[in-house]
Structure 1
Amino acid sequence: MSEIHVFGIRHHGPGSARSVRRALEELAPDIVLVEGPPDAQSQLPMITHAAMKPPVALLVYASDSPSQAVFYPFATFSPEWQALSFALERGIPARFMDLPLSHQLKTEEKEEAEGEKELHDDPLGTLARAAGYTDRELWWEHQIEQRSDARGMFEAILEAMTELRAHALFPPAHTREAQREAYMRKTLRAATKEGFQRIAVVCGAWHGPALVAPSSAKTDDAILKGLPKTKTEATWIPWTYSRLSYRSGYGAGIASPGWYGHLWQSGGHPGQASFTWVSQIARLLRDAGIDAPSASVIETVRLADALASLRALSMPGLAELTDATLSVLCHGDASPMNLIRTKLEIGESMGEVPEESAAVPLQRDLAAAQKRLRMKPIADPKPLELDLRNEHDRGKSRLLHRLNLLGIPWGRLQEIGAGKTGTFHEHWTLAWDPELTLALIEANIHGNTIESAATSKSSEDARNANLAGLTALLDATILSELPEATDSVLERLQERAALSADVFALMDAFPPLARAIRYGNVRQTRTEHLASIANGLFERIVVGLLPGCASLDDDAATRAREAIGRVHESVALLDRADLASEWTAVLQALLGRGEIHGLVRGSACRLLLEQRIIETVELERLARLALSPAAPPAAAASWVEGLLRGSALLLLSHDGLWDALDAWIASLSDEAFVEMLPLVRRGFSNFGAAERRRIGERVKNVGRGPQARAPSAGPVLDAQRAAQVYPVLSQILGVEIP
């Protein structure tokens, strides 16, 4: 007669894992059945591989649709991991017994389409509330994780769950929970028929009663009848402590995986766990420049022990150590606790899996590239600076840009500098998220190598992209050094540009071409075929800009100003006299067109002023026109905002401009002034503090002092009356005028 021993656990916890290990050693089972996906049965031998270092996760996904996937995470302190390790180390058969994902993935798809939802109870929360706890995590830690004697614990858990299930609202037989438990019972019957005498079952505590309760094979077969099925694949992937809170498969979230990892490593010795934990906190604080003497470490441990005694606990837990740390090491300041929480309580330890683990070709190609370029994936964000004149660094840049094209953002580009394609330096931040492995598997449909997959996906994306999307894609393919993809994008870009009537979309497409032409040699990009496309775009921009800027609202004017600025930079970058002459003529034409939005006219005036194409007399004339009483106040304020965008130093010496601004503000009615004040302040908001101070000094001298022009006529400035205006001007400029 077979004996079935059910060990109901919570899915992550050092106390549970230690108790399961001891119980299995005492039982010496013939087979160990663990709640988990039978689809991954072939991956179990990898657990004892020397290169396997938790935290890791089993990834099970649909072969024809990798986006349908489930992660099953394991840490060293996971009871399932210890149970499987126990069995495999001793040559005892070990099997997963949950409902296969080949059924669950298709069922999930159907349930989502039909809008069905599971009913889930919170058994731990119910028990915690019955015991007077408001925190289920704290209750579990006190009752299970800190338990020094585990005898009778699993029997008590089974009894408690049986009582809870008897009074709980349980899902009907056709739902997922019932199907899972029916399959578990089916697996138990199969093990019994095979002749195993002592069968150990490690599963979530809630399922325990369903596995020992009488049930017929006929009933379970009826529950499982007609389940859809799909082909699945499984592999091991590295995981992180921070991702152990990810709820997928049976991976229930835990609040403090770093703390649990520390408890496991300490071997369950209370005194050692407390002292080494506080020592790590002190080291972390010292690294952050916070004083943490050894005497304070000892005092913190003593206070934690005292708190545990007051709370009738056998040993200090995380709550006691946290309270003691806050009081002693942090002197009541909660700010350092955020650092402790992130770096220690949660942690960012990342596991490793053997190279022999099942992988799609794209994974293997990435692993080979990472090894060749010495780019080990880690979870903690890490800065990476590259010099593109160095071939090794260029290889890293190519890889990161190509992965981004594939939707695998291992690296995020932080800063490139002025000429995006032309600079020799790139600044990245690298951080490997385990979910990127799933994205990598999905991307394998595009090709078996990073280069071929990125080329294929870029060409496909180009077929459906609009002009703005093609512009971004062109930039990405050039940075990725994918000549075939670049040619494909350029061809599509040329077609789209020929049909586009949106001049601003054309202007957005011009800068990447200009950068590629100017700096193509940095990435060895062929540029001879880019010039003709760029010339065609530029001519259409020149022709369409004036009518395109007519009758714009505020949002459209902002877009126009930004597009004009980018094209202006691109023309300067190309350094061609013919293009510069045409562009200058267009900007000058914008200045005198009344139907053009004030923001655009002011920006054009600013660009021409910076190139010294507009002289002081002309600037003053334009200012008087734009700020005349006949001009609507909102249009005048927009012109000021456009003109002031940039360095203030260029404008400080233009007396006529300040006189015009002064006269305009003085001419506003009280209502108009209140309405225009935010717009005017916005115009000055981009200046630095030093620039605003100089502007304040300049405003004080409008119409007087050595910088003022000799007054030929008009009233003498009344200093007393002028002083009354200073508070208002201070508010406009955002600086104090003495």
Structure 2
Amino acid sequence: MRHHSPACARLVARAIETLRPAHVLVEGPADMNARLDELLLGHELPIAVFSHYRDEKRTATSWTPLCDYSPEWVALSRGHAVGARVRFIDLPAWHPAFVERAEPLANRFADTEARYTEATRRLCERFGSDTVDALWDRLFEVAEPQGLAQRLDAYFDVLRGDARAEPGDRAREEYMACWIRAALARAEGRPVLVVTGGFHTPALRTMTGTGAGSASAPWPEVPEPPAGALGGSFLVPYSFRQLDSFAGYESGMPSPGYYQLLWERGAVAAADGLLRQVVGRLRGRRIAVSTADLIAARSLAEGLAAMRGHPVRSRTDVLDGVAGALISEALEQPLPWSGRGTLSAGTDPAVVEMVAASTGDRTGRLHPATPAPPLVHHVAAQLARCAVVPGRTVTNDLTDPEGLLRSQVLHRLRVLGIAGHVRESGPMTGADPVFTERWEPAPAHGREAALIEAGAYGARLDEAAAVALAERARSASASGAPPDAEAGVLSGVLFDAVLCGADALSAELLGTLASRVGAVAGLGPTGEVLATALHLWRHDRVYGVAGDPLLAGVVDEAVGRVFWLAEGLHGGSGVDPGRLRALAVARDALRHADDLLTLPRAAAVDTARRIAADPAAPADLRGAALGLRWSLGCGSEEAVGRARSLAAVAPHELGDWLAGLFALAREEVAGDAGTDAAGPSLVDALDDIVTALTGGDFLAGLPALRQAFAFFPPRERERIAERLLERRHRHGSARSLLRTSADPLELARARALEENVSRLLDRYGLHTRQAAR
């Protein structure tokens, strides 16, 4: 059979009623056999078996969906009703057989395996179908029921042929064959019905033969997760949207709403029902559909069905008919049912609504007696304790223990992806002086399923949030994201851990963060992580993590990484605020957290000395390295000499160098400006340097110089202006020098233009004649 096929589901139902088998064996996770009664409690379908697995190397999650027209569901429910012994016979969904590829398991039932791509291509060509789904509908769903089993055999024989399955599929088939042989040995001459995906059927027939199984064939053991690993399965509500291939579910049939109608009412009524649903949704979205349009759509669908050789209108006939009747302009994208996959950007709005109508909006519901993971009950208890009510705004005073606890509970739910509330305001960094936060209610669609799935992370809300954060940190580098993005993830993980509460700052999480920081390749991104960790360690007494020894490990690792990356950085021009911030935060760590660091202060200062003297390093980084040394009490005597040397050799780099210097030693430079030391201050030296620049050099360097002096706040700029007036023996308001009637850059350009014009007039003697006249 094919998963989620009404035709196959009817065939299974007829077989059970006719054969009254002793055993019904179903392709599905065998670890659910002890809990099959849970599946038969009386749920509203669709539902799914959610399976999870986690160890130090691998994380896997999987969903096995079941809806009314799933052959597996019919086999379970009808088989139980006739007294057959019903069992799942596939390996557990977390088993390595499902994850041969490096990436975690995304879906168990992939119909798009490369091994039968060529066969399906030829079949589609032979029967004039655009897609495998349209081919399937023609051959099985809207075809006459007579001979269905024989057509299915022929179809899957063509797809599988004598191809050897991949190792994972072979392991699964061998395991399923063991169950079949054991059931045959115990059937006492009665039939054994095996319901599996059609791809596996030829191989299973070969492995088990047609006779009875060996009397000594035991029931296979159900694999258990290895020691130290966590794994299990729970039932979760599912929806038609999740089942739909247009939403990304590769192994399902598209348009589950249509196939539900097909299962309930038959092919003719399903086509009429689909047309009504599509027209109703379009009209509900204020897309005009007249009676004439409706007649035209039905006529087109009937004509297409006749032309394509369909005995009745199929799903694609109806959708093509509506599209042909309503859409008169050229489409930017092909009609989605002419292929497979999610909807593309630019899809016509009417087509989007047609797809949504064919999908349906049904959402499953679990029976109240369905066992749930411990996390579900713990969350309910936590919300009751904190008086958090769905649909109501929550305001938390973070200085109050009750408000802080309520905040932590809501943040833990947010980290786990549990819908219900969205934070609208609150502290955004460890140094943010905000002590209240507000959460607004949000749509809670899928909340029950998300809670059950989050149970894979732990039994308690705080534990589950900590594990989820550690997994985010581990996957940051594995995702192949650029360094900036990776560091952003790490910083977000660190702050989220604090928001979730000190208990979430587990040794595992902080150890993972520290190891990931050591692998970040960018200086700016590393500084971002360091800034977050250092601010939290120094200031965050609201959340109770100030001085946390686990945070200290992240700070230590990041400081060492900053200096290692800075010394190896060569080439480039301009000012990079990220790397300047990284050195500034490393400087702050040396000032305020020296006892935490394995990098000695003297070694850090010596590294800065080498960077400051390295001509291959970027100018702003050289200036920042010198500023770091100056701000830590050494290197001030070098500043004047290096400024003069740079102005003589590369005046175009002077502004960038000063930006780095001021970013790290702004206070020292401003304080030095008003002193009467024996030697000239840096401001005095810069005054001389800038005054001596040629007009062209000054104009070229002015933007960078302005950027550099922007590091000074207004009061310190005024102090520098006072020093400049003093050097010129002028009296007046220093503040007025900071206020110009126009952009200083435009004034400089105007002055340069005037000088050029004056020189041109002098060259031709025009300036002298004008003066004489």
TM-score bracket for this pair, using the shorter chain length: 0.5 to 0.7
SS in 1 for 2:25: strand
Alignment of 1:395-544 (within 5 A): 397-399=407-409, 401-402=411-412, 408-410=416-418, 419-420=428-429, 422=432, 423=434, 424-425=436-437, 440=454, 442-444=456-458, 448-452=459-463, 454=465, 474-482=494-502, 485=505, 508-511=529-532, 514=535, 520-521=541-542, 525=544
The structure 2 residue matched to 1:335, chosen from 332, 348, 354, is: 348
The CA distance in 1 between the partners of 2:405 and 2:293, in whole Å, is 49
Question: Which position in structure 2 is the counterpart of 1:321?
Answer: 318
SS in 1 for 2:378: helix
Q: Deviations over 1:614-657 (max 9, x none)?
A: 99xx89978984995699999959937955999xxxxxxxxx9x
Question: Which position in structure 2 is the counterpart of 1:105?
Answer: 95
Question: Which position in structure 1 is the counterpart of 2:757?
Answer: 715
The structure 2 residue matched to 1:145, chosen from 116, 141, 145, is: 141
Alpha carbons of structure 1 residues 302 and 482: separation in structure 2 relative to 1, 3 Å:
farther
The CA distance in 1 between the partners of 2:325 and 2:577, in whole Å, is 54
Q: Deviations over 1:444-496 (max 9, x none)?
A: 3xxx3122455689899999x99x899666523321122683899999999x9
The structure 2 residue matched to 1:40, chosen from 24, 28, 32, is: 32
Deviation at 1:186, TM superposition (A): 1.0
Matched, 1:311 2:304: no
Question: Which position in structure 2 is the counterpart of 1:365?
Answer: 378
Alpha carbons of structure 1 residues 635 and 568: separation in structure 2 relative to 1, 3 Å:
farther
Contact 2:491 2:528 in 1 (8 A): no
Contact 1:459 1:489 in 2 (8 A): yes
Pairwise CA RMSD: 6.7
Question: Which position in structure 2 is the counterpart of 1:96?
Answer: 87
Q: Deviations over 1:321-349 (max 9, x none)?
A: 33334344444344225633774455776
Question: Which position in structure 1 is the counterpart of 2:127?
Answer: 131
SS in 2 for 1:98: strand
Amino acid at match of 2:366: V
The structure 2 residue matched to 1:79, chosen from 71, 75, 78, is: 71
TM-score calculated relative to the size of structure 2? 0.58
Question: Which position in structure 2 is the counterpart of 1:205?
Answer: 198
Amino acid at match of 2:277: W
The structure 2 residue matched to 1:388, chosen from 396, 407, 410, is: 396
Deviation at 1:36, TM superposition (A): 2.4
Deviation at 1:189, TM superposition (A): 0.6
The CA distance in 2 between the partners of 1:601 and 1:517, in whole Å, is 29
Contact 2:423 2:437 in 1 (8 A): no
Amino acid at match of 2:311: S
The CA distance in 2 between the partners of 1:372 and 1:75, in whole Å, is 37
Amino acid at match of 2:460: T
Alpha carbons of structure 1 residues 420 and 352: separation in structure 2 relative to 1, 3 Å:
farther
TM-score calculated relative to the size of structure 1? 0.60
Question: Which position in structure 2 is the counterpart of 1:54?
Answer: 46
Matched, 1:176 2:171: yes
- Give unpaired runs (5+ residues) of structure 1: 1-8, 378-382, 571-581, 647-655, 657-694, 719-738
The CA distance in 1 between the partners of 2:55 and 2:511, in whole Å, is 34
Amino acid at match of 2:462: E
> Number of paired residues?
611
Matched, 1:14 2:35: no
Amino acid at match of 2:396: L
Question: Which position in structure 1 is the counterpart of 2:277?
Answer: 277
Contact 1:12 1:79 in 2 (8 A): yes
- Give unpaired runs (5+ residues) of structure 2: 104-112, 226-230, 332-346, 478-486, 590-626, 647-652, 674-682, 712-720, 722-740, 761-773
The CA distance in 1 between the partners of 2:152 and 2:513, in whole Å, is 66
Q: Deviations over 1:677-712 (max 9, x none)?
A: xxxxxxxxxxxxxxxxxx9999777666xxx9997x
Deviation at 1:143, TM superposition (A): 1.9
Amino acid at match of 1:254: M
The CA distance in 2 between the partners of 1:374 and 1:299, in whole Å, is 57
Contact 1:56 1:351 in 2 (8 A): no
Question: Which position in structure 1 is the counterpart of 2:259?
Answer: 260
Deviation at 1:137, TM superposition (A): 1.5
Deviation at 1:142, TM superposition (A): 1.6
Amino acid at match of 2:46: P
The CA distance in 1 between the partners of 2:60 and 2:180, in whole Å, is 26
Range 171-180 or range 476-485, more displaced: 171-180
The CA distance in 2 between the partners of 1:313 and 1:623, in whole Å, is 91
Amino acid at match of 1:274: L
Alpha carbons of structure 1 residues 63 and 25: separation in structure 2 relative to 1, 3 Å:
farther
Alpha carbons of structure 1 residues 349 and 112: separation in structure 2 relative to 1, 3 Å:
same
The CA distance in 2 between the partners of 1:635 and 1:486, in whole Å, is 53
Amino acid at match of 1:639: A
Deviation at 1:239, TM superposition (A): 3.5
The CA distance in 2 between the partners of 1:318 and 1:65, in whole Å, is 44
Amino acid at match of 1:311: R
The CA distance in 1 between the partners of 2:259 and 2:692, in whole Å, is 69
Contact 1:258 1:344 in 2 (8 A): yes
The CA distance in 1 between the partners of 2:742 and 2:313, in whole Å, is 61
Q: Deviations over 1:367-404 (max 9, x none)?
A: 65578889999xxxxx9986434999976752353367
Contact 2:305 2:311 in 1 (8 A): yes
Amino acid at match of 2:163: L
Contact 2:33 2:88 in 1 (8 A): no
Question: Which position in structure 2 is the counterpart of 1:186?
Answer: 181
The CA distance in 2 between the partners of 1:374 and 1:306, in whole Å, is 61
Amino acid at match of 1:322: L
The CA distance in 1 between the partners of 2:114 and 2:538, in whole Å, is 61
> Which protein has greater RCO, CA pairs closer than 8 Å, 6+ apart?
1
Range 484-493 or range 259-268, more displaced: 484-493
The CA distance in 1 between the partners of 2:375 and 2:460, in whole Å, is 5
Amino acid at match of 1:135: T
The structure 2 residue matched to 1:560, chosen from 559, 569, 579, is: 579
Deviation at 1:10, TM superposition (A): 0.6
SS in 2 for 1:237: strand
Amino acid at match of 2:411: H
Alpha carbons of structure 1 residues 112 and 623: separation in structure 2 relative to 1, 3 Å:
same
Question: Which position in structure 2 is the counterpart of 1:351?
Answer: 364
Question: Which position in structure 2 is the counterpart of 1:686?
Answer: none
Alpha carbons of structure 1 residues 600 and 239: separation in structure 2 relative to 1, 3 Å:
farther
The CA distance in 1 between the partners of 2:98 and 2:86, in whole Å, is 24
Range 299-308 or range 586-595, more displaced: 586-595
